[in-house]
Amino acid sequence: MRSSVLLLTGFIVLSFSSLAQITAPKYSNEFLSIGVGARGMAMANVQTALVDDVTSGYWNPAGLTRMKHKYEVALMHAEYFAGIAKYDYGAIAMQIDSVSAVGLSVIRFGVDDIPDTRYLFDNNGNSSSTGQINYNNIKYFSSSDYAFVLTYGRKISLIKGLRVGANFKVIHRTVGDFANAWGFGLDAGAQLERKKWQFGLMLRDVTGTFNAWTENTALLQDIYAQTGNDIPQNNIEVTLPKAILGVARAFQLSKKIGLTASTDLIVTFDGQRNTIVNSSFASIDPAVGLEANYKKIVFLRAGVGNIQKVQGFDNKNYTSVQPNFGIGLKIYKFTIDYALTNIGNVSESLYSNVFSVKFSFDSLN
């Protein structure tokens, strides 16, 4: 099986290389690292071992088999950087039988209404016959990233408490009419329960995720020539694999109050990052999350992650952390969650409010 996957990956790479240049930039497809659902984001994205609902299609496909109901639907909307960027997520999942489940997730991260000022002035530097600037000549475009994720999860009967799953994802990225990309990739995940302990493993982009970029050079050829810049060429962008290891444990503090603690280790292989543990081969970013509940109706959550080494203006190195907080309320089969989180510059307070809802049901009637 492993040799087949490697052979297939090599064939894809060789096929694309005949058409375009292949690059593997750091932080490729980084919009897929933001997270989904206010629960997970409030806990600093620590969900690999914990997740047990429809959001498993993002966090760990193996968790899809732990859904409490036959069907689940989740929606989320968030705005970042004073509403400039909009982030939307929707997912649906269903149990096929007692050992397997499927799901479909859609993610969009986009910036809309970006001014295109190429037609603001003519060749003589005027925007109209009167020489006055005519702002009606400004056009607008959007830069958007989409992901469509199909998920399958299954319980493994040979090993008690073991669940596995996989994602097939299609990526579509657009920058107005100037450039667009289509890509695809695979994720794999596993979860293991041992008494009160839960373990998780998520392998993102396990075979590499390939984005084939097409540049519309005709739209920008004159601008590039005037500025002396090189005209971009069509290329293949490869997102390298990432491994996430998770451990979680639940504690019952009293009859009505419970506590869950969890930690994730995010291991990247796309170059040296500003993480606590880093090297040219791999970088490790730890995160910790807590969730307290009252009768599993009211939830209070907190997490710390994105621990970075930052160089200040005094040329000294500092360690910064990203704190997250959140609450949740479950009423019958309806859940609403809120998170106060920061995905911006870790050295500034660019906090964002995230809301998500989830609805569970057992019949379509």
Rounded to whole angstroms, the Cα distance separating 303 from 307 reads 12
Residue type, 238: V
Q: How many CA atoms lie within 13 A of 180 on its CB side?
A: 9
The answer to whether 99 touches 120, Cβ cutoff 8 Å, is no
Rounded to whole angstroms, the Cα distance separating 172 from 174 reads 7
pLDDT at 288: 97
Rounded to whole angstroms, the Cα distance separating 358 from 124 reads 57
Instruction: Give me the number of domains the chain comprises.
Output: 1
- Residue 138's domain spans which residues? 2-361
DSSP class of 136:
G
The CATH number given to whatever domain includes residue 141 is 2.40.160.40
Rounded to whole angstroms, the Cα distance separating 338 from 243 reads 27
pLDDT band with cut points at 50, 70 and 90 for residue 133: low
pLDDT digits (tens, 9 = 90+) for 45-102: 999 999 999 999 999 999 999 999 999 999 999 888 777 889 999 999 999 999 999 9
Rounded to whole angstroms, the Cα distance separating 108 from 110 reads 6
- Tokens 């796309």 correspond to 270
pLDDT digits (tens, 9 = 90+) for 294-336: 999 999 999 999 888 777 777 777 788 889 999 999 998 999 9
Look up the pTM and report it. Answer: 0.84
Rounded to whole angstroms, the Cα distance separating 105 from 73 reads 10
pLDDT digits (tens, 9 = 90+) for 32-57: 999 999 999 999 999 999 999 999 99
Q: Where are the alpha helices (DSSP H) in 171-292?
A: 217-227
Q: Where are the alpha helices (DSSP H) in 183-259?
A: 217-227
